[in-house]
Amino acid sequence: MTTNVTNVAAIYARFSSELQDDSSIDSQVEKCRQFAEANGLTVPADLVFTDSAMSGRNRERAAYQEMIIAAKDDPPRFSTVLVWKFSRLARNREESILVKGLLRKRGIVVRSVSEPVDPESAHGKLMEGILECLDEFYSANLAAETRRGQEQANSEGFWTGGRPPYGYKLKKIADPKGRTGKGGHVIQRTVLEVDPLRARVVKDIFTWSSQGMGLRKIAERLNDAAVPTPDSGRGFDPSTIRGIIHNETYTGCLIYNRQQFFRKNDGTKTKRNNPRSEWKIKKMPDLRIITDDLWRAVADRLGKRKKNKASTAHRNIRYPFAGIIKCADCGATYMAIKTSRKGHTYVNYACSYNRRRGSSICANSTKVDQDTLMDAVMKAIEENILDEASVAIITEAIEKLVTEHRGSHAADRKRLEKELKKLDKEIEKLSRAMTIATDVPELAKQLQEKAKRRTSVADALDGINSLVKKDLLVGLEDRVRAEMEDIRGLLASQDVHQFRHELMHHVSAILVDAQGQMRIEGSLVGALDSVLKLVAGA
């Protein structure tokens, strides 16, 4: 007997801020239950999923994974997932698109209790996109604050998180300046210290590399000697050795902002190296494992090899769809294949698994010509994203959103105005005190801190006021249409970097199957991004 799950819902709740406590999860669940009861939905006890102290950008959340597994039951046990806000599910649009797409295939919709939109209507889906844009903007700001804190910690010689480099171990110490937490206890800091046994291995790796030994050979030698590995038993591999010989920490320094992490269209996390001019380097002589001469010897050898080997990243610059088009059968990325005939160069894309691992792994041998692909993608974007119907939909949605949310900033504005007045009084009081005080440096320091805080509060208040000013929507449709024209121009750019950057805002996936059928998945979210920035800056 098949159970009717039309009126059965699951609840997902999450909190990540240290300013929140367990009651915030209880509150989310309770509000979702109230919504379910008011809308005739039943929520079984085993379909309430909660994650504590987890980021919305982290797909490895335990309860989140349990919810996904439950959604894959055949048949599904529920038809709706209730969340307090869409941001509880994910603060990243790409991840949100992936999970909602997975749930939608199972006949399951996601509903936000505090952001009531119709998930089935075109207007509702557009409103979801707008809300997700705003959530991602908030998440980006939060990430920026976190980075500032990590940069400060690095400048003081503290470890900013993650697994320590091979050759070091982590150690907890009391804050050297005696700074205390909320409970009055001294804050515990984490620092690196040299692990003598593994440091010897690091020296051997650099020595062998300077003598000309390759990455694979070094890994084999270490594995043959049963040397303890960084990841507890999986053995060394060439990529592990490469990471070690490129890590400048071994010369006695802490480096922050060496790399930037971001998420690709498929939701996976990847990294990109920052220019050395942007690195934050703290000299730490106690952390030195290798000499500067040995470091330079290895670096010189690697530099010579690099000149003789083309960079993959450089090669991909010529291929606008590299990493974007995927195999519909196995999910692998399509790779670019360049051929030359009679003085002409042609570029095709083919499934990398079929091409490199054979038809037993993936039978999709379909190739797609780059020019054909370009025509199909541009046509799809023109007809579904940059058309007049989209201009009207976006204009209407933003008008409604701005109108409905004009009053929502009142509480924040009132709080900021109150704090601004308080800061003005404190600054005035400190300024007067400095004219008669003996401890002028301490007062000057306090005055500087208050002035800095006042600038932050004033900027935040200006931001809120800009969102609610009366002329925000004047000429909106014309501005939306002009922004669409700018997007069209960027997509027509001959600059491959610029084209790829803009394309990835509008196309989430290009899938090709073994029958040669192409499916281009995109949405108005990219256009929304541009228009929301336009409106916010009006």
CA distances from 362 to 326, 356, 359, 428 (A): 12, 10, 5, 73
Distance CA 371, CA 150 (A): 46
Q: Report which of residues 406 and 241 the model is more confident about.
A: 241
| Global pTM exceeds 0.85 | no
pLDDT at 330 over 50: yes
Range among 223-232, 300-309, 476-485 with highest mean pLDDT value: 223-232
- Fold (CATH) for 9-142: Rossmann fold (3.40.50)
pLDDT above 90: percentage of residues in the chain: 18
CA-derived radius of gyration, the chain: 28
pLDDT at 309 over 50: no
- Contacts of residue 129, defined as CB under 8 A and 6 or more positions apart, other chains included, come to 93, 523, 524, 525, 528
Residue 438 is predicted with a pLDDT of: 65
Centre a 10 Å sphere on the Cβ of residue 217 and count the other Cβ atoms it contains.
14
Each residue of 65-98: pLDDT tens digit?
A: 888 888 888 888 899 999 988 777 775 655 666 6
pLDDT at 311 over 50: no
Distance CA 210, CA 193 (A): 25
- Contacts of residue 242, defined as CB under 8 A and 6 or more positions apart, other chains included, come to 215
Q: Where are the domains of the chain?
A: 9-142, 156-309, 311-538
Each residue of 126-148: pLDDT tens digit?
A: 555 555 555 555 555 556 666 67
pLDDT at 267 over 60: no
Each residue of 480-529: pLDDT tens digit?
A: 777 777 777 777 766 777 777 777 777 778 889 998 888 887 765 555 45
Q: Report which of residues 425 and 440 the model is more confident about.
A: 425
- Mean pLDDT is lowest, of 10-14, 169-173, 178-182, for 178-182
Beta bridge partners of residue 368, listed in sequence order: 349
Residue 165 is predicted with a pLDDT of: 92
CB contact at 8 A, 224 and 205:
no
Burial of 481 (0-12, 13-18, 19+ CB in 10 A): middle
Which DSSP symbol is given to 228? P
- Mean pLDDT is lowest, of 189-203, 305-319, 381-395, for 305-319
Q: State the pairing for strand pair 48-52/9-15.
A: parallel
Burial of 100 (0-12, 13-18, 19+ CB in 10 A): buried
Residue 314 is predicted with a pLDDT of: 40
Helix (H) or strand (E) holding 89: helix 86-89
Residue 107 is predicted with a pLDDT of: 86
- Fold (CATH) for 156-309: Hect, E3 ligase catalytic domain fold (3.90.1750)
Distance CA 138, CA 494 (A): 33
Distance CA 378, CA 374 (A): 6
Instruction: Tell which residue, 86, 99, 84, 79, has the closest CA to residue 29.
Output: 84
Residue 4 is predicted with a pLDDT of: 67
Q: What is the mean pLDDT of residues 18-25?
A: 52
Instruction: Tell which residue, 519, 528, 531, has the closest CA to residue 380.
Output: 519
Residue 233 is predicted with a pLDDT of: 56
Which tokens hold the place of 247? Answer: 């890590």
Q: Cis omega before residue 75 (within 30°)?
A: yes
DSSP string spanning 365-430? --EEEHHHHHHHHHHHHHHHTSSHHHHHHHHHHHHHHHHHHGGGGHHHHHHHHHHHHHHHHHHHHH
